[in-house]
Amino acid sequence: MAATPALLELVSVGRRLAGRAVLRDVSFSLRRDDVLGLLGVNGAGKSTTLAIIAGVLQPDAGSVLIDGKNATDDVRTMRDRIGWVPESVPLWPELTVIEALDACGRLRGLSKPARKTALERELARLELTDLAQRLCGQLSLGQKRRVGLAQALLHEPDLLVLDEPGNGLDPVQAAQLRELIGKLKPGRGIILSSHDLAEVEAMCNRVVILHDSRVRLDAPLETRRGKLDAQFRSIAAQPASAAA
Amino acid sequence: MSALAVARIDLKRLAVRPFAWTLAGIALAMMAWQFLLGLSAFMHAQPVVPGPAAGPGFIDAVVAPYLLNYIQLCLVIVPLITMQALAGERGAQRLALLTASGATAAQIVLGKFTARLVFLWLLLVIVATMPLVLGGATHPDWGQFGAALVASALCVAALAAIGVACSAFTPEPALAATAALLIGEGLSLIDAGVRISGGEGGWLGYLALHTHLAPAMRGLVRSEDIVYFLIIIVLALALAIRRIAAERERG
């Protein structure tokens, strides 16, 4: 019997930006119920990797497979299967939370009854009911992150892509985020980027370390607990290659 | 479907933005003032003793110059309305959000264009209402009025398409507005020298907005004028779509 394909698979993905190689031969995979932490210093290529997975950027080389099917050229697959929350949550400051989420539902092609159900579900799940009529431009960073997550979850995606989800959150909000990711994990795959080891250790069961545009470590976290800090420091200390 | 969703979001945003309403308020106040001036001049030019109608009528003397003035005003206000369409969205990653939501470049550009066009056409309807309220008293030539209105609507659409295209090509809204203003003014003035010297415009004349507005203001709807405006709209939107589609590749 053929093995079930991974939910997400990156095969030799490469990308150049402004004449510089940002990603080179990046390959890793993610299965359902996995929470994969993408670690790396600033400029390692984490956000670019996530933007390629989300379909916002096109890879120069390689491919992104969702359930074994090439997603890079298939907008519909990307839209239906992936929910993406970039580092700075893109909201429309003039719209209320409920209007912004409704607009996102329309963009994803949800019917009116489906939008209503999805809005009620996500407002409750992310504790946004009290903020529903508040303008997005008036929200705090933590609240914006929750609205960002709500828009990414409206269509119940199989794969959740979170770029630096804990960045700028206070300890209480960070703990709430960890709890939320634990709740969201069953039945879907989650990939999140971070440069915070503690955050990755608390939320993820697998880790990929990117350095100098390449994958330097891809391993289950349970085998690395306690050793990850030293390993990350050792990888991050390696000089970047001069190759462009 | 996504183009309509994008248009809906942008219309909602325009509707709550003080900038758009302030601009609309200023434009309408200026147009009302110009209409009253034109009407006053027309009234003074009327013979005191009633007799057979002679000379230019209400549409020729008041409405056509009034709509041409509105087009001149649009050369300035349309770039201000369109400058944020795509240029302002990039920095805040809202363009990326639309792409990640599955909207294609064509849907994004058409949605942004439609929202601005609806807003600008709404302004045109209000501007046209001013002469319309005198319709019962002045016996206007409705055909001529309709032709002038159609040409004005097409011209506004062409200027909006140019504005959206400029917004697609630069990350700075101010640069987008400046570029759209320069292109609009360029199209408006390109044959000015030839016109002043009384010569034939040739291909310069064909490029000029005035060449394609003037016949409609006299009540003549020519297919070549409609094609001219449609070419500008299609060309500008195609360039914008191409630029936004390339964003996934360029980064």
Cβ-nearest to A95 among B12, B103, B251 = B12
Considering only alpha carbons, which residue of chain B is nearest residue A47? B251
Can you give the pLDDT at residue A174?
A: 84
Q: Are A205 and A178 in contact (CB under 8 A)?
A: no
Cβ-nearest to B12 among A78, A99, A151 = A99
Q: Residue A242: is its pLDDT beyond 50? A: no
Whether A74 and chain B come into contact, CB under 8 Å, resolves to: no
Question: For A9-18, A141-150, B70-79, B241-250, which range has the lowest pLDDT when averaged over its residues?
Answer: B241-250
Q: Are B223 and B151 in contact (CB under 8 A)?
A: no
Q: Which of B163, B205, B169 is nearest to B187 (CA)?
A: B205
Can you give the pLDDT at residue A180?
A: 87
Q: pLDDT band for position A56 (50/70/90)?
A: confident
Q: Is residue B49, in this structure, part of any structural domain at all? A: no
Q: Is residue B47, in this structure, part of any structural domain at all? A: no
Sheet containing A69-70: order of strands: A20-30, A8-17, A61-66, A69-70
User: What letter would DSSP give residue A135?
Assistant: B
Chain centroid to CA B136: 28
Q: Is the pLDDT higher at A157 or at B203?
A: A157
In this structure, what token pair is assigned to residue B17? 């933005």
Interchain CB distance below 8 Å, A103 and B8: yes
Q: Is residue B154, in this structure, part of any structural domain at all? A: yes
Considering only alpha carbons, which residue of chain A is nearest residue B94? A90
Q: pLDDT band for position A20 (50/70/90)?
A: confident
Q: Residue A244: is its pLDDT beyond 90? A: no
- Chain B residues with at least one Cβ partner in A under 8 Å: 1-2, 4-6, 8-9, 12-13, 16-17, 92-94, 96-104, 248-249, 251
Q: pLDDT band for position A3 (50/70/90)?
A: low
Kindly report the average pLDDT of chain A as a whole number.
Answer: 87
Can you give the pLDDT at residue B226?
A: 94
Residue ranges of chain B with per-residue pLDDT less than 50: none
Q: pLDDT band for position A153 (50/70/90)?
A: very high
Pairing of strands A8-17, A61-66: antiparallel
Q: Is residue B191, in this structure, part of any structural domain at all? A: yes
Q: Is the pLDDT higher at A244 or at B130?
A: B130
Q: Is residue B31, in this structure, part of any structural domain at all? A: yes
- Positive or negative, the CA dihedral B112, B228, B73, B30 is negative
Instruction: Please tell me the distance from the alpha carbon of residue A53 to that of residue A83, in angstroms, as a whole number.
Output: 10
How close, in Å, is residue B100 to chain A by CA atoms? Answer: 6
Q: Is the pLDDT higher at A30 or at A233?
A: A30
Q: Is residue B244, in this structure, part of any structural domain at all? A: yes
Interchain CB distance below 8 Å, B99 and A104: no
Angle at which helices B64-82 and B142-169 cross, to 10°: 20
Q: One-letter amino acid identity for B198?
A: G
Q: Are A215 and A185 in contact (CB under 8 A)?
A: no
HSE-CB at B150 with a 13 A cutoff on CA atoms is 19
How close, in Å, is residue B91 to chain A by CA atoms? Answer: 9
Can you give the pLDDT at residue B251?
A: 66
Instruction: Provide the domain limits for residue B239.
Output: 3-42+54-250
Q: What is the ipTM of this complex?
A: 0.84
Q: Residue A2: is its pLDDT beyond 60? A: no
- pTM of this prediction? 0.88
In this structure, what token pair is assigned to residue A225? 């607990």
Q: pLDDT band for position A243 (50/70/90)?
A: very low
Q: Residue A1: is its pLDDT beyond 60? A: no
Whether A125 and chain B come into contact, CB under 8 Å, resolves to: no
Cβ-nearest to A57 among B6, B17, B251 = B251
Q: Is the pLDDT higher at B213 or at A228?
A: B213
Instruction: Please tell me the distance from the alpha carbon of residue B244 to that of residue B231, in angstroms, as a whole number.
Output: 20
> How many folded domains does chain B comprise?
1
Q: Is residue B15, in this structure, part of any structural domain at all? A: yes
**Mean predicted confidence (pLDDT) in A225-237:** 78
Q: How many CB atoms lie within 10 A of CB A63?
A: 16
Can you give the pLDDT at residue B99?
A: 85
Q: Is residue B171, in this structure, part of any structural domain at all? A: yes
Q: Are B11 and B118 in contact (CB under 8 A)?
A: yes
Domains of chain A by start residue, with CATH: 1-81+157-244 (3.40.50.300), 89-156 (no CATH)
Can you give the pLDDT at residue B102?
A: 80
